[in-house]
């Protein structure tokens, strides 16, 4: 989700960070350029395009990947419930 080159000057250093953590990406965006690639889920198959695009990732797929890989329904449902709870909490804080 996040990959980039540090905007800080380093001699002979090239720094790349990769993460799926949206909060970490937000934290690092002033020091790194944000790039992402996208995926398509079709016929229960996930395909990544592996083409870097500028900016932060706008979609999430981890829970869908759990389901596609046969994880127990209870785990997938709980992950989705927690994800929705986190989204609601972020929205609530944003509107305060």
Write the pLDDT tens digit of every residue in 69-88: 999 999 999 999 998 998 89
pLDDT 10s digits, 30-62: 888 888 888 888 888 888 899 988 988 777 788
Predicted local confidence at residue 5, as pLDDT: 47
**What's the CA gap between 77 and 71, in Å, rounded?**
10
- The set of residues, in sequence order, having a beta carbon less than 8 Å from that of 12 and lying 6+ positions away, is none
Single out the residue of 39, 29, 32 nearest to residue 59, CA to CA. Answer: 39
């Amino acid at each position: 989700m996040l990959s980039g080159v540090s905007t800080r000057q380093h001699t002979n250093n090239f720094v790349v960070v990769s993460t799926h953590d949206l909060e970490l990406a937000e934290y690092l965006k002033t020091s790194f350029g944000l790039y992402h690639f996208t995926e398509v889920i079709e016929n229960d198959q996930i395909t990544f395009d592996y083409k870097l695009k500028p900016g932060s990732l706008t979609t999430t797929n981890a829970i869908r990947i759990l389901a596609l890989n046969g994880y127990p329904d209870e785990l997938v449902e709980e992950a989705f419930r927690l994800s929705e709870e986190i989204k609601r909490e972020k929205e609530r804080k944003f509107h305060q």
